[in-house]
């Protein structure tokens, strides 16, 4: 519940569309870094987590992600603007290919004038598997006493705790438990289960028409070095193959050497896509 942020709630997708259109007409603003698909916008609004501010340069959209606000910008970059600090950190991300475009660079200058600082860079890894050559017997239950399976509703709290314990909420903001429940229902979340029936690892893979997008792979410290993350990945690959999806992508923090090495060993390659994150505490 917001009470001191001077933010207004976006009430519907129509309201969202009207705000963007009015900003374009009034300020000649352009979409700087908002790449939310319409279904995603609809779900965020339904949860009551999308807010806005207007200023002379255009429109600021704030997605409340519990620990942080994610800022999306519809701006005329030739007009300076002010952003007031809120009751939690604000992050804003700028995707690029090889390098950032001039529009993003100019907008970042405005953010830095408001106190934002560079925080981190994530890079995209990609692989397109050959269904005939992929080994799905990467890990067996008999070998390590773990079961790799689809997450179930009763696993939700355990998965969420692994996330909270594993991820920086600024670099990798967590979805709500409502979003997680939906992803479990869609069979887009996987688990490693120990012989004592404990959830010890988890991975998410959102399936689109032609690719699997991975996020939030984590294993409890005492169960690491047993190839559980790789095993959940292969389980997901097999699931994707059944839907004729062979292309798999994920984003890894540039400085996360262990994760980068792990995925490169599995055959992933860096493409030229990246995203820079800026933070206002």
Once rounded to an integer, what is the mean pLDDT over residues 243-247? 89
**Predicted confidence band at 5 (pLDDT cuts at 50, 70, 90)?**
low
pLDDT for 233 beyond 70: yes
pLDDT tens-digit readout, 49-84: 999 999 999 999 999 998 999 999 999 999 999 898
pLDDT tens-digit readout, 249-274: 999 999 999 888 888 888 899 999 99
**What stretches of the chain adopt beta strand conformation (E)?**
8-9, 30-31, 50-55, 58-64, 69-75, 90-97, 117-128, 146-150, 189-194, 199-207, 211-219, 247-253, 269-280
pTM (predicted TM-score): 0.87
């Amino acid at each position: 519940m917001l009470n001191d942020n001077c933010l207004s709630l976006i009430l519907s997708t129509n309201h969202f569309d009207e705000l963007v259109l009015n900003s374009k007409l009034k300020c000649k603003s352009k979409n700087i870094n908002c790449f939310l698909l319409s279904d995603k916008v609809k779900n965020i609004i339904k949860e009551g987590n999308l807010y806005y501010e207007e200023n002379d340069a255009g429109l600021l959209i704030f997605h409340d992600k519990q620990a942080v606000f994610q800022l999306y910008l519809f701006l005329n970059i030739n007009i300076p603007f002010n952003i007031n600090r809120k009751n939690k950190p604000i992050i804003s991300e700028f995707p690029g290919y090889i390098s950032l475009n001039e529009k993003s660079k100019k907008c970042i200058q405005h953010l830095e004038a408001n106190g934002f600082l560079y925080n981190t860079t994530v890079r995209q890894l990609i692989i397109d598997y050959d269904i005939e050559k992929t080994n799905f017997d990467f890990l067996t239950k008999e070998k390590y006493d773990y079961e790799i399976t689809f997450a179930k509703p009763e696993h939700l709290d355990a998965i969420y705790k692994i996330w909270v314990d594993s991820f920086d909420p600024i670099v990798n903001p967590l979805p709500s438990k409502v979003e997680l429940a939906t992803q479990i229902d869609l069979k887009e979340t996987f688990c490693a289960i120990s012989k004592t029936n404990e959830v010890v690892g988890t991975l998410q893979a959102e399936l689109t028409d032609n690719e699997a997008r991975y996020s939030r792979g984590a294993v409890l410290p005492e169960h690491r070095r047993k190839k559980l993350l790789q095993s959940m990945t292969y389980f997901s690959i097999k699931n994707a193959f059944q839907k004729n999806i062979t292309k798999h992508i994920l984003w890894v923090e540039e400085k996360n050497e262990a994760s980068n090495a792990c995925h490169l060993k599995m055959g992933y390659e860096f493409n030229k896509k990246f995203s820079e994150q800026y933070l206002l505490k």
